[in-house]
Amino acid sequence: MTLKHTLKTINKTIGNSESMISKENYLLHRLDNNVTGLLLYATDINTYKQHLQLFKEKKVTKIYTGIIFGKLNETITKISSKIYYNKNKIKSYINKKGENATTYVYKVKEQSINNNIITEVIFVIITGKTHQIRLHMKSINKPILKDNIYGFNKNKEYLKISSQYNSITLKSLSYIFHFEKYNLGYMII
């Protein structure tokens, strides 16, 4: 779904707000299919270039929430690897040909469902590789619930618990921009 289409849908839902839809909207990033949450866009080219540069310089902290299948032993888990995206297979892999990616996982709350543990977590990433969080969680055998690409799709317990959710349990929550030049930062929630 394009930004313009999304804004038109919002416009239909909340009434006529033509100022929301301009010909010049610049999307700053993307979300994986089925991931919900915050999308950022600029309404002018200068703002777009300035913020895009911050993304390129890894001066944007991205925060997501999710529910994973399994228990984390530590309160904070750091996962680092090289991620390679295969456009032909529309899937990412941990591979030495890839680019560096780091995901921090913060345990929020665990609960037991039918003798299985699921854990609510917060993910913090600075890099933004395709399917980074989903692949990193699979790499430690703690997939995100309802993930049809990297989940345990042959595990009956995973599928049973995942079936309780309408969509993947990964949501974009906020972005923190760091402007060192001005000793300023801001967070969008």
Which H or E element spans position 12?
helix 3-14
Choose the catalytic residue: 4, 25, 29, 32: 32
Residues 6+ apart with CB under 8 A from 38: 172, 173, 174, 175, 188, 189
Is 32 among the residues known to form the active site? yes
Measure the CA–CA gap between 61 and 128, rounded to whole angstroms.
10
Instruction: Report whether 76 contacts 94 (CB < 8 A).
Output: no
Specify the pairing of strand 60-69 against strand 116-125. antiparallel
Residue position matching structure tokens 């300023």: 184
Kindly write down the DSSP assignment for every residue of 15-82, as one continuous string: ---GGG--S--EE-----TT-EE---EESSHHHHHHHHHHHHTT-EEEEEEEEEES--SSSEEEEEEE
Q: Active-site residue numbers?
A: 32
